Amino acid sequence: MTDEHTHNGCNHGEMLQGVARQAMIDKGLAPDFSPEAEKQAEAVTGPAQDDDASIKDLRDLLWCSIDNDDSRDLDQLTVAEDLGGGNVRALIAVADVDAVVKKGSPIDDHARQNTTSVYTAARIFPMLPEKLSTNLTSLNEHEERIALVMDIVVDSSGSVTKGDVYRARVHNKAQLAYNALGMWLEGKGELPAKAKAVPGLAENLKLQDKLADNMRELRHEHGALDLETIEARAVMSNGHVVDLQVEARNNAKNLIEDFMIAANGVSARFLAAKGLPSLRRVVRSPERWDRIEAIATQYGEKLPGEPDAQALEAFLIRRRKADPLRFPDLSLAIVKAMGAGEYVVEMPGQTPIGHFGLAVKDYTHSTAPNRRFPDLITHRLVKAALARQASPYTRDELEALATHCTGAEDAANKVERQVRKSAAACILEPRIGDRFDGLVTGASEKGTWVRVFHPPVEGKVVHGAQGLDVGDKVTVKLIDVNIERGYIDFVRVHH
């Protein structure tokens, strides 16, 4: 640590933890588990055991987990099998959290309030006690677990032709991380040692990668949107924010994303086929399509008068090629105009609203039950279907949960954003008076905003903003930061 980072002696980590905790409370989320939930967690001594004869034994398959470098709550494992004739079978195993956390128990009550784990640089607020989410309900390496398996067959065009859901015993052969595996899949690095140690896993990963490419291509033909926004992650060292890193996309992340989209489609269709309601994740056809049309017009392009995902995706592809530097800002503008995702209840036989951004009709959340409550709801519905039982939730209960989960997710995003802004203020604190190059990302009566390139942060132009418009390149000088409020103030520098 250089002196400049500690010039005022304050510990960023402690400050950011305070900011994060207060933001959780302000947004109606619980930063701590209740004594009852703590007690329930203490009583859990091992992973779920179940001698139900219908649970398949799939422990011998080449299962592996692929997640963030620092993830400890492992929700899913994947494996593929070449069936010949262009057909590939893909299996996605998802942690069976419900086997340990029952509906209406104290831990479930906490999870239902927050509905998601909240990840901030200073502190993670897990949805489930870490004893469960990072251990007893996590699909940890070299451990045997009971999981819910989405089993799909995909043809050479990338279409899912068959899908089933059932419970099975699984065994994670290798815990892999996005960055190292992504480098190898892209031919830029070595096969990670953990993958090398498992005979046949390298070939299986190549098969999974190829399958994911096919499924993604088909979605893009249907108009799935390829957006790229900048989410800088704060890097902490010795209690101080030392860097902000932008997480790049890579083949390993794409692979998992595509497998999860397929798995979420299968669970949605499975529930519909069994006559049970489902909690769908939808992005409606954009209400502000006129705003999206106007954005395209600024680039000299014309979009159809009615929402058209394929036309929008084609426009985005052209813009990414033409101006990669400003593409994240265009993406963000499109995301804002599209409106947020939401949870809705879909009854059997209803016409699905679908997910505009992913260009899929059937989509539920079912692949991350350690860190997302809607996934746990979906699992309970699926398990009721498998046991030929009635839905564990009434329609009214599901409607209320859909509204609550949408709101709580929004609240969690705001907490994460608040801490990101405060972390950005921490890193800029010793640099008051420095000049930065950036791009104008917002200009309205509310103010003018600029995103500087290094470090990748956004701040307000408090003087000299007249005449600036979105997309303008500009040089600014940092004049003030407020860590607690996450404010960063710039003035424009005229060359």
89-130: per-residue pLDDT in tens?
999 999 999 999 999 999 999 999 999 999 998 899 999 999
Helix (H) / strand (E) element for 103: namely: none
The alpha carbon of residue 79 and the mean position of all alpha carbons in its chain are separated, in whole angstroms, by 21
pLDDT score for 3:
39
Whole-angstrom distance, CA of residue 364 vs CA of residue 337: 23
The reply to whether 298 and 254 lie within a common domain is no
In the predicted structure, residue 416 carries a pLDDT above the cut 50: yes
The alpha carbon of residue 487 and the mean position of all alpha carbons in its chain are separated, in whole angstroms, by 26
In the predicted structure, residue 4 carries a pLDDT above the cut 60: no
Exposure of 204 in the CB half-sphere (CA atoms within 13 A)? 21
**Residue matched to tokens 């007690």:** 39
For 148-164, what is each residue's pLDDT tens digit? 999 999 999 999 999 99
Q: What is the mean pLDDT of the chain?
A: 93
pLDDT score for 279:
97
Rounded mean pLDDT, 268-283: 96
Choose the most confident range, by mean pLDDT, from 4-8, 170-174, 472-476.
Answer: 170-174
Q: What domain count does the chain have? A: 3
| Least-confidence region, from 37-41, 62-66, 73-77, 298-302 | 298-302
Backbone angles phi, psi at 207, to 5 degrees: -65, -45
Bridge partner residues of 458 (DSSP): 451
Residues 258 and 187 sit within 8 Å (Cβ to Cβ): no
**Residue matched to tokens 């419970």:** 167
CB atoms within 10 A of CB 440: 21
Rounded mean pLDDT, 381-407: 97
Q: Whole-angstrom distance between the N-terminal and C-terminal Cα of the chain?
A: 34
Whole-angstrom distance, CA of residue 386 vs CA of residue 452: 52
Whole-angstrom distance, CA of residue 212 vs CA of residue 366: 18
pLDDT score for 495:
66
pLDDT score for 226:
83
The reply to whether 12 and 54 lie within a common domain is yes
Q: Are strands 144-154 and 76-84 parallel, antiparallel or unpaired?
A: unpaired
In the predicted structure, residue 58 carries a pLDDT above the cut 70: yes
Residues 327 and 319 sit within 8 Å (Cβ to Cβ): yes
CB atoms within 10 A of CB 12: 26
pLDDT score for 326:
83
In the predicted structure, residue 401 carries a pLDDT above the cut 60: yes
Joined together, the tokens standing for residue 115 give: 């509905």
The reply to whether 233 and 304 lie within a common domain is no
In the predicted structure, residue 166 carries a pLDDT above the cut 80: yes
The reply to whether 34 and 180 lie within a common domain is yes
The reply to whether 17 and 102 lie within a common domain is yes
Confidence of residue 269 (pLDDT cuts 50, 70, 90): very high
pLDDT score for 2:
38
- Please confirm whether the linkage preceding 352 is cis (ω < 30° from 0): no
**Between 288 and 146, residue with greater pLDDT:** 146
pTM: 0.92
In the predicted structure, residue 305 carries a pLDDT above the cut 80: yes
Domain containing 441 — which CATH number?
A: 2.40.50.140
The reply to whether 327 and 223 lie within a common domain is no
Residues 426 and 12 sit within 8 Å (Cβ to Cβ): yes
Show the domain range for 305: 289-338
Rounded mean pLDDT, 69-81: 95
The reply to whether 138 and 78 lie within a common domain is yes
Joined together, the tokens standing for residue 74 give: 């492992």
Backbone angles phi, psi at 291, to 5 degrees: -65, -40
Rounded mean pLDDT, 174-192: 97
Residues 442 and 449 sit within 8 Å (Cβ to Cβ): yes
In degrees, rounded to 5, the angle at the alpha carbon of residue 266 between the alpha carbons of residues 133 and 224 is 95
In the predicted structure, residue 240 carries a pLDDT above the cut 80: yes
Rounded mean pLDDT, 398-414: 97
In the predicted structure, residue 293 carries a pLDDT above the cut 70: yes
Residues 359 and 314 sit within 8 Å (Cβ to Cβ): no
pLDDT score for 10:
63
Residues 216 and 258 sit within 8 Å (Cβ to Cβ): yes
The SS3 call for residue 165 is: strand
The reply to whether 206 and 296 lie within a common domain is no
Of 425, 459, 477, the one marking the end of a domain is 425
Q: How many helices (H) and strands (E) does the chain have?
A: 13, 18
The conformation of residue 93, written as its DSSP 8-state character, comes to E
Rounded mean pLDDT, 42-59: 96
User: What percent of the residues of the chain are helix, what percent strand, and what percent coil, each to the nearest 5?
Assistant: 40, 25, 35
**Residue matched to tokens 């994911």:** 212
Whole-angstrom distance, CA of residue 381 vs CA of residue 375: 10
The reply to whether 242 and 386 lie within a common domain is yes
Q: Where are the alpha helices (DSSP H) in 339-459?
A: 373-386, 395-428
**Rounded CA Rg of the chain:** 24
**Between 339 and 354, residue with greater pLDDT:** 354
Looking at 108-257, which runs of residues are DSSP E strands? 118-119, 124-125, 144-154, 160-171, 174-177, 232-237, 240-246
The reply to whether 345 and 262 lie within a common domain is yes
Rounded mean pLDDT, 470-488: 92
Q: Residue 33, class by beta-carbon neighbours within 10 Å (0-12 exposed, 13-18 middle, 19+ buried)?
A: buried
The reply to whether 383 and 329 lie within a common domain is no
Q: Percentage of residues in the chain with pLDDT exceeding 90?
A: 79
pLDDT score for 5:
41
Rounded mean pLDDT, 236-261: 89
The reply to whether 179 and 327 lie within a common domain is no
Q: Are strands 174-177 and 64-67 parallel, antiparallel or unpaired?
A: parallel
